Structure 1
Amino acid sequence: MSFLGLRKWPIVKPLWPFFIASGVTYWLVSKAQDKMIRAPEYAHDPRNPYAAQIAKEAHH
């Protein structure tokens, strides 16, 4: 059975690099965000939603 002339899985085969790239991009942005949140100039900012968590981890 086809939908708009396309079979079910052959559309995924040429798009696999985009799936991998989106996963890598998500991971890199997540790591960058974590590094920025924990930077000393932002770690003690009261607007930082993770300030309490960072302060508790720093006391250990």
Structure 2
Amino acid sequence: MFGFRAYPTPILRPLGPFIAGAVIVFWATNSLQNSMLKSDEFKKDPRNPYG
């Protein structure tokens, strides 16, 4: 189609470690942020969505 050939280029296999690392960093950042929002220091902050 339009002069392009369908080469069997692997996409997900080489990017797998980067995708896994991104998921782990996102999960760790989210859990750290949630635990900090629920701490005693930030419970009385008016910007806290759980307050």
Q: TM-score, normalised by structure 2?
A: 0.76
Q: Which of the two has greater helix per residue?
A: 1
1:7, CA displacement in angstroms? Answer: 3.6
What corresponds to 1:31 in structure 2? 31
Q: Distance in 1 between matches of 2:35 and 2:48?
A: 13
Give ranges in structure 1 of 5+ residues lacking alignment: 52-60
Give ranges in structure 2 of 5+ residues lacking alignment: none
Q: TM-score, normalised by structure 1?
A: 0.66
Q: Following TM superposition, where does structure 1 have runs of at least 4 consecutive aligned residues deviating by more than 4 angstroms? A: none
1:12, CA displacement in angstroms? Answer: 1.7
The Cα RMSD (Å) is 1.6
Aligned length: 47
Structure 1 segment 1-60 matched on structure 2, within 5 A: 1-2=5-6, 7=8, 10-51=10-51
What corresponds to 1:54 in structure 2? none
